[in-house]
Chains A and B, each alone.
Chain A
Amino acid sequence: MTITAPELEIAVLVLGMAMLLAEAFATKIDKRVLAFVAIAGLALVLVASFFVAPRASPSQATGFWSFYTADRLSMFFKQFSLLTTIFVLILMIDYAPVVRSSFPGGTLQAGLGEFFALPIFTCVGLMYLVSAIDFVFIFVSLELVAISFYVLVSFTRRNPMTLEAGTKYLVLSALSTGFLVYGIAWIFGATGQTNLQQIADALANPTTDRNAALLGMVLVLVALGFKIAAVPFQIWVPDVYQGAPTPVTAYLSVGSKAAGFVVLLRVLQPFLALPQTQRLIVVIALLTLIYGNLAALPQANLKRLLAYSSIAHAGYLLIGVACFDASAISFYLAAYLLMTLLSFAVLIIVAQQTGEQIADFDGLAKRSPFLAFAMLIGMISLAGVPFTAGFLGKFFIFYAAIAQHQTVLVVVGVITVGCGFYYYLKVVRAMYWQSANKTDKIPVTALSRLAISALIIATIWLGVYPQPILDALKR
């Protein structure tokens, strides 16, 4: 029996439903069992996904395949989404005590069931999103992702910070959805199509009103800029990242951003023939690079620092978009997945002992050499030190930019890398230079130890031997 790509999403969807049912009827069980079941299920789907042969939709496809594609890029990002969700669930298990404590008066298990089930639905949304090649389908799957995130972001709602984050995310996300629909309407009005391939054909036709289509594209760009945290649509990021439960922050910054970039690549494809598109992207990339890196410099809260760093990395990724190099972007995102989740995994464990400030990491090297080393690898990979995945990501991005003679982007990129070294090494400095206020050891559960070790090894492995990812992306 051969497996086809849509069956992967259906399997994940069924898993999510089953979890909700189990949560509703089996009230006596330890809810963390549900998380383990979900991790096992997703891992099974992940394994199955390697047996799906990627195939692009034929250009004249009808029915289902006219809005769904299973090309290499989408298969890569389906696996990416599954992997992200698995790691986020592991982080959530570590985070469970915090969720529990935010439901005062509730039972021991209050709220945990939905907390573990919702990411499954987000995962389905992400998997659909990376396969979407029709504006209607893009809209539907984007909403599936957004709505499950509304709940997740404000999950620990007794915390005023979280509530603020939830409200901000809800309002601004809804606004960006409005822009998206409005943009789609303009494009549809100009070209009469919602399928991306047919829009490209229509734009090649000289009788099409290009200005109207371009206006639509810009509006769509606003909505996607919100998803990927590009300047000037980044205002929500620091507050929401700081206020949301930490595993959800990690999920937002990895999953949501990756899917946003895939959609951006697909949506921009038809408009590439228009020279204004590239210029616009270059300007956005420059703004994002400068804002993200400069604003990160003075941050004292690690979660907020990671929020600004996520804006900064969106800037590097946008360099890739400006050069339209899908494989450079995909590699960068894969590296970004590893190093961001690594940093968040350590942050969740340490934050429960001391706090989220960088100063709370003082002397971590004494208290837990393992966690400090993990954070060190995460930080130097984010900064871009060779032999880590983050460096190769930047290498491919800069390679594409130099090949396209994007001098301004390259110059600004190098200067902002210098900024990055400063704020990432601030964390390293706290862990290794400063002396600790407390000296007791920090306990790490076996599962997190395993997950963190896997992330460390993968970060270094990809930094030395990137060929597996390059092979997976080869067209």
Chain B
Amino acid sequence: MVLFIIFCPIIAAILIMAGAPARKTALVASVLAFAAALFLLAFFDQSQRDFQHVTSFTISPDWHLSFTTGIDGLSLVMILLATIVTLAAVWFTGTIEKYENAFYACLLFISGGAIGAFASIDLFFFYAFHELALIPTFLLIGIWGSGNRVAAAWKITIYLAIGSFILLLGLILLYQSFPLAARSFDIRALTAAAGLGQISADAQRHVYLLLLIGFGILISLFPFHTWAPEAYASAPAPAAMLHSGVLKKFGLYGLLRLAIPLLPEGTHHWANLLVVLLLGNIIYIGLVTIAQKRLDWMLGYSSVMHMGYIFLGIASATVLSTTGAVVLIFAHGLSIALLFALAGELRKKTGTLVFDELGGLGKVMPFASLAFGFGVFAAIGLPGLANFAGEIMIFFGAFKNGWEMAHFHIFQIATVLALWGVVISTVYMLRAYRKTFMGTMNERWKEVGDLRPALRVPVVLVVGGLLCYGFFPQSLVQMVTSTFQTYLSANSSHLADEQSCSHGAVRRLRFMGPADGNAPQGRSYKVANKR
């Protein structure tokens, strides 16, 4: 089943390149993948902590390299996100004037690559699948982009290529930092070996830094973010949806999957650096976002800014905050995809995304305005939409983290500063909404029509997802929280020995235990409490 979800888009892409009818094939493939993901969700066994639906093909016994796929709660959430956004992106693609087949094939390659990365248990394929998206992105922006597409396409491709090669170095170093007998590309084997403390603290610091820079470039961590706004502003809407909604989340998924369980000492060591950088994302990029004069650029910057919250969840490495990070990854993926889709429609209908020229469009496009409102409020983090659940868990989890750095509780300071990010995002999001849909309407837009009924289906799907998980975030939390409990409980016993860090500062560790008052309630938690 997992293999089916991975290869459904890829095979469809190959068929489309060979000449199958583009839109029909792409739609069928993405509906099938989405249905399969729902099937996996329905039959997901939450009591089992290990990977499920595992299939494995040996590639190289010498290197312990095999094509192994499977899902646990974490990867299932990511796959669900990927299939929803793929379906929405494919649906939102209208008729393409030139090379229609190539356009759909590129979209499906990006989607298949992302799903493959999320479902791979093997480190090598985890990396390789992500790279499947590199060339399609280059082509999508280069051929069908708008604005300064040439510069944007080069920038994103070179940035991501170098980022992923730095990541590759980190992964190779990670592989080599295990003793010879324990070397494997299987993430399960690595996690087990790391639980026994087989990576030296020194190696962890080196590997974590490489992974942080490599993944950081892919996630647009400040100051490696400059490719993102330009690329998203220039990319055609479906490409921006897939890239910012799904593909960028690969790096966050990678940090959660690798750095949290394998490199606790590295996480600890570089926490200060990461906190400073993520505050750069939240505060600095937040202010930059306010200054934007075009809707597409504003959305691009806002997607960079929101990565800061998720980084905060990962950096503080508590069960609550990492769980919150996953919820926010899911929610942000849906909300930013929705906003990019609607911005793309606006561009198609009005031909411009400059705030000063827009305005009052709510009168002529009531449905789009309503849907955009949902996206805006989700991005701000209004209760009732899934983003709120993620953000609040991250803030609570991070604030509870008691790591001390020279008598400062860095995470508490960071949380207080990050909360201002909510204010900043309220400013730019509401401002954008007002300038686009409210106010006096420019006479030019009288003839602009609302979204076609056919295009309302994916919008309803995405908004439904946001609302559903906004009211019932517990169903997401239950799926992922057991994974992080396993990861972090193995670490805390191992880390307790190392109290002093190289800065000479003393850090007291108080990992959020299962008995913590702020821990989310749920079945898996009760299981953990009994332990």
Interface residues of A in 387-437 (CB under 8 A from B): 387, 391, 395, 398-399, 402-403, 410, 414-415, 417-418, 421-422, 425, 428-429, 432-433
Q: With A402-B176, A422-B158 as given contacts, are A386 and B132 in contact (CB-CB < 8 Å)?
A: yes
Q: How far does the Cβ of A366 sit from chain B's closest Cβ, in whole Å?
A: 8
Q: Which residues of B contact A (CB under 8 A)?
A: 17, 59-62, 99, 102, 127-129, 131-132, 134-135, 138-139, 142-143, 154, 157-158, 161-162, 165-166, 168-169, 172-173, 176
**Residue in B62, B128, B162 whose beta carbon sits within 8 Å of that of A387 in the complex:** B128
Q: With A385-B134, A386-B131 as given contacts, are A421 and B176 in contact (CB-CB < 8 Å)?
A: no
**A219 CA / B403 CA spacing, docked (Å):** 60
Contacts of B162 in A (CB 8 A): 414-415, 417-418, 421
- Provide a sorted-by-A list of 18 A–B residue pairs whose CB atoms are within 8 angstroms: A365-B99, A373-B17, A385-B134, A386-B129, A386-B132, A387-B132, A395-B172, A410-B169, A414-B166, A421-B162, A425-B154, A428-B135, A428-B138, A432-B143, A433-B142, A465-B59, A466-B60, A467-B60
Is the CB of A37 closer than 8 A to any CB of chain B?
Answer: no
Q: With A365-B99, A433-B142, A465-B59 as given contacts, are A402 and B161 in contact (CB-CB < 8 Å)?
A: no
Q: How far does the Cβ of A469 sit from chain B's closest Cβ, in whole Å?
A: 10
Q: Which residues of A contact B (CB under 8 A)?
A: 365, 373, 376, 380, 383-387, 391, 395, 398-399, 402-403, 410, 414-415, 417-418, 421-422, 425, 428-429, 432-433, 464-467, 470, 474
Nearest 5 CB-CB pairings of A with B:
A386-B128, A418-B162, A421-B161, A386-B131, A414-B165
Q: A395-B172, A428-B135 are in contact. List 20 more A-B contacts (CB 8 A).
A: A376-B135, A385-B134, A386-B129, A387-B128, A387-B131, A387-B132, A391-B128, A402-B176, A414-B166, A414-B169, A418-B161, A421-B158, A421-B161, A425-B135, A425-B138, A428-B138, A432-B99, A433-B139, A470-B60, A470-B62
Contacts of A395 in B (CB 8 A): 168, 172
Q: How far does the Cβ of B239 sit from chain A's closest Cβ, in whole Å?
A: 15
**A410 CA / B162 CA spacing, docked (Å):** 12
Contacts of B166 in A (CB 8 A): 414
Residue of B nearest to A411 (CB): B169
**A373 CA / B13 CA spacing, docked (Å):** 14
Contacts of A428 in B (CB 8 A): 135, 138-139
B176 with A380: CB separation less than 8 A: no
**Residue in B158, B161, B172 whose beta carbon sits within 8 Å of that of A399 in the complex:** B172
Q: With A395-B168, A402-B173, A417-B162 as given contacts, are A380 and B59 in contact (CB-CB < 8 Å)?
A: no
The interface centre, meaning the residue of B17, B138, B143, B168 with most chain A CB atoms within 10 A of its CB, is B168
Q: How far does the Cβ of A216 sit from chain B's closest Cβ, in whole Å?
A: 36
Contacts of B139 in A (CB 8 A): 428, 432-433
Q: How far does the Cβ of B454 sit from chain A's closest Cβ, in whole Å?
A: 29
Q: With A365-B99, A386-B127, A429-B142 as given contacts, are A418 and B173 in contact (CB-CB < 8 Å)?
A: no
**A428 CA / B136 CA spacing, docked (Å):** 11
A385 with B135: CB separation less than 8 A: yes
**A418 CA / B134 CA spacing, docked (Å):** 13
B128 with A422: CB separation less than 8 A: no
